[in-house]
Amino acid sequence: MKKLLATFALALAAVGLLGLAAAPDLSWAQAAPAAAAAAAPAADAAAAAPAAAAAADAAAAAPAPVPNKGDTAFMMIATVLVILMTIPGLALFYGGLVRSKNMLSVLMQVFVIFALISVLWVIYGYSAAFTAGNPFIGTLDKLFLKGVTPETVAATFSKGVYLPELTFVAFQGTFAAITTALIVGAFAERIKFSAVILFSVLWFTFSYLPIAHMVWYWDGPDAITNEETLATVTEAAGFLWAKGALDFAGGTVVHINAAMAGLVGAYMVGKRVGYGREAMAPHSLTLTMVGASLLWVGWFGFNAGSNLEANGTAALAFLNTIIATAAATLAWCAGEAMLKGKASMLGGASGAVSGLVAITPACGFVGVGGALIIGLLAGFICLWGVNGLKKMLGADDSLDVFGVHGVGGILGALLTGVFASPDLGGTGICNYVTNKCGDVADFPGVAAQVMIQAHGVVTTVIWSGVVALVMFKIVDMVIGLRVTEEEEREGLDISSHGETAYNR
C-alpha cells in the first residue's frame, strides 16, 4: 500500500513538472484563433497578400466574446454546490449506512477520490472529454489545460452567450469527481483502499471520459446558421449527442455509468463476510439523513447549473428538482408503509435520492407535471430496485448503488423522452437554424425520442459494464481487490487506516 501511494505521488509530481515545462504563454487567447492565423502572414507579405491583411484587420477589429458576469457568478456557486454534494454530502450519506468499524474508510475513499479526480481532470480529463476528436473521445490538445486562460470562453446553449472556460472546466470537474465516488458504495466494507484508488484512475479514464464526450460534447450553437452548418456541427459532436439523446445533467453520464461500474464491482469483489447471516444495519441514520439533505441542497447546483446560464430554463430545472425529489420521498415512504407497515428514515432518505437521480436527465426538458410523475414513479420503482431486483441480481451491493442510481437513472432517461414533448408540457428541443426552442414540429415524437433515449441507456450500460469488468480484472491481478477476512472483521478503519471514527 505504501509503495503504491508513494509511486502514485511521484508519478503525479513528474507529470506536474512536465506540465510546467510545457505550460502555454498565458497571453495567448483561444478566443480569436482566426485573427492570429491571418495576422502572421499579413505581417510578412502585406504587399503580396492584401486580402489576407484585410481579413486580419477585420478579425482584429471584431469584439472578443464577453462572458456574462451574472452567469459566471451563478456557475461558480453551482460548482460549489456540487462539491458540497460530494464532500461532505455523499461521504456522510454513505458513512452512516455502513457499520461503525468502516465509517472512516468510506469517508476516506470519497474524500480522496474527489481529490484524485480533480487533479486528473485538469491534467488530461477535460481535454479528453471536451475537445473535438472523434464521436467517442476527444484529444489531448488541451493537456494540462493548454490554451485555457482567463480570456478563453466556453459556449453555452444560447447564441452569443459565453462563460469563462475556466468556470466550465471547474464545473465539469466536479461531475467527474462525484461520479467516480458514487461507485464505492457498491462494494463498501471489504475492498482495499489501494484497489479503490487504482480502479478510480482506470475507470475515470476509460469509461467516464468517453461517455461524457459522447453525451455532452458539441461545438456550441454559434456556428449553426443553416442546415449545412448544423450537419457540420452534428458530425463533429459526441456519438450520443449526434443521435439526439437528451441528458440535461447526467442520467447516463453520471448515474447509469457509475451504477453499472458499482454492480460489476459488487460481483467482482464478492459478498461481505457474513452477508445474509449477520446483522449489517446502518450505524447512524442520523448522519445518513444529514448526508441526504446535503445531497438535496447541492443537487440544485448539479441540475440548475447544467443549464450554464441563469435564465428561465435554470429556474425550471431548479423547481423540478424540488418537486421530483419531494414526490419520490413520499412515494418511497408510502410504498414502504404498505410493504412493511412502517415508513423509515432510511426509506425517506433513499426515496429523496432516487427522485434526485431520476429527474437529473430530465430537469430542464420536462414541465413541473412531468417532474411530479417522474418523482412518484422513481420512489416506487427504486424501492423495488433495492428489494426485489437486488435479490434477483444476487449481488451484495452494499449501499444500493445500482438499485437507486442505476434503476433511477434508467427510468429518468427513458421518461425524459416522454415528458420532454411540448404536447406533454415539456420544452421540446432547440432548433438552432431558426434559433427557436419548443416548437412541436421540431420534436421527433414521443416514441422516436424514447428509442433515442434507450439507445443512450444501452450504450452507457454496455460501455461502463465492459470497462469496469476489464479494469477490476487488471486491478485484481496487479494488487488484489479484497482485504483479508481478518482485516474485514476487524474493520477497515483500523486495518486500512489505523484509526477509528469513534472513541470507545
Q: Tell me: the pLDDT tens digits for 321-352?
A: 999 999 999 999 999 999 999 999 999 999 99
pLDDT given at position 65:
84
CA distance 307 to 46: 45
Q: What is the DSSP letter of 389?
A: I
Nearest of 6, 2, 114, 100 to residue 492 by alpha carbon:
100
Mean pLDDT (the chain) is 90
The average pLDDT across 127-147 equals 97
Q: What is the 3-state secondary structure (H, E, C) of 174-219?
A: HHHHHHHHHHHHHHCCCECHHHHHHHHHHHHHHHHHHHHHHHHCCC
Measured at the CA of 77, the angle between CA 30 and CA 196, to 5 degrees, comes to 85
Report DSSP letters for 393-417, one per residue.
Answer: HT---TT-HIIIIIHHHHHHHHHHH
Q: What is the pLDDT of residue 299?
A: 99
How does residue 66 score in pLDDT terms, banded at 50, 70 and 90? confident
Greater confidence, 32 or 238? 238
Query: Residue 151: what pLDDT?
Result: 96
- pLDDT on residue 304: 98
d(CA 424, CA 418): 8
- Residue 503 — very low, low, confident or very high, per pLDDT cuts 50/70/90? confident
Flag the least confident range among 29-33, 252-256, 418-422: 29-33
Between 55 and 220, the more confident residue is 220
> Model confidence at 380, in pLDDT bands (50, 70, 90)?
very high
Residue 391 CB burial class (10 angstroms; 0-12, 13-18, ≥19)? exposed
